[in-house]
Amino acid sequence: MTAYALETQSVIKTYNSDSGIIKAVDDVSLQIAAGEFVALVGPSGSGKTTMLSILAALLQPSSGQILLDGQDLATMSDVARVALRREKIGFTFQANNLVPYLTAVENVELMLRLNKKLDRAGRMRARELLARLGLGERLNNLPGQMSGGQQQRVAIARALIHSPSLVLADEPTASLDTERAYQVVETFAGLIHEQNRAGIMVTHDLRMCEYVDRVLQMQDGKLVKIYTDRKDILKLAKGGRHS
């Protein structure tokens, strides 16, 4: 069971509304291995963002089990969840990704600072990672002095610098043009494979599935289809965007 970096069992998330109980996530079970990059796709309202929030330890499921490196997120205290997010999870978000008053390298180093692991080797690693992402000349630029694509790449570096078990990306290409979007996802996938992390990307843009190992398709809160065959994934990627 612990062979997977991440494993969920029958995760359910319900909300109360005027029209009754809504199941945003309905009995989702999945497994992601270390070194595997997975896309979570589906139309708006399919539950993929809720699922990502649960996996990110930002939201408690109504029931079910989420094991990250053997630890159950669903039963953790708030303090333990904050520590888990800091130590074992890397994030990139759609927008407002970076701390605006920290430079590119300071944003990346922030994860090491928070984990009390910022040393000379960590500083070097942050610079090297940013250089690999094509930002060697932008180390001391503030987010406001960088393009959206450059900011996303800084966020990718920040998500990976502290060697997390799980890397989560919420619509990382939403604010990028097509060329930049491909570049960002390709780099992201390359680093996840290279560093042997479990990666999950939520995206509307099916074209980005070209770089993932598996595609998990959600609809109405349920995991309705899993694409594992490379041909099927490429075919899906050529299909374009979800509505």
Partner 1 sequence: MLSISSYLALKEVWRNRGRFLLVSLVIALITLLVLFIAALGEGLGNGNREYISKLDAELVVFQAKSDFLIQASRLGRNRLLSVRRVDGVDNAGMLGTTNANLIVPADNSSLKVALLGVEPGRPGEPPVEEGQQLGTSQAKEAIIDRNTALRSKLAIGDMLTLRVTQGTDDEFYKLRVVGITGGQQYALQPSVFVPFNTWDTVRPKSEAEIGVSSDPVANVILVKLTDPSQVEQVRSLLTRQVEKVDAATIDEVIQALPGYSAQQSTLNTQGGFTLFIGILVIGGFFQIQILQKVPQIGVLKAIGTSNPIVATAAVIQIVVVTVIGVAVGGLLTFLLSLFFPPTIPIVFNGTSAAVAIIALVLIGPLGGLVSIRYAVKIEPLKALGLSS
Chain residues in the site for partner 1 (CB under 8 A)? 15, 24, 49-50, 52-53, 56, 58-59, 79, 82-87, 89, 91, 93-102, 106, 110-111, 113-115, 142, 158, 170
- Evaluate whether 68 touches 165 at the Cβ level (below 8 Å): yes
> From the CB of 104, what's the least distance to partner 1, in Å?
13
By beta-carbon proximity to partner 1, the closer residue of 33 and 83 is 83
C-alpha span between 69 and 176 (Å, rounded): 33
> From the CB of 101, what's the least distance to partner 1, in Å?
4
By beta-carbon proximity to partner 1, the closer residue of 106 and 232 is 106
Going by the DSSP 8-state scheme, the letter that residue 241 receives in this structure is: B
By beta-carbon proximity to partner 1, the closer residue of 96 and 229 is 96
User: Which residue is listed with tokens 């029931």?
Assistant: 63
User: Which residue is listed with tokens 């080797």?
Assistant: 121
> From the CB of 3, what's the least distance to partner 1, in Å?
26
Cα 18 to Cα 15, 22, 62, 219, 222: the distances in Å are: 10, 10, 18, 22, 22
> From the CB of 33, what's the least distance to partner 1, in Å?
24
Residue 207's contacts (CB-CB under 8 Å, 6 or more residues apart) are 178, 181, 182, 237, 238, 240, 241
By beta-carbon proximity to partner 1, the closer residue of 102 and 131 is 102
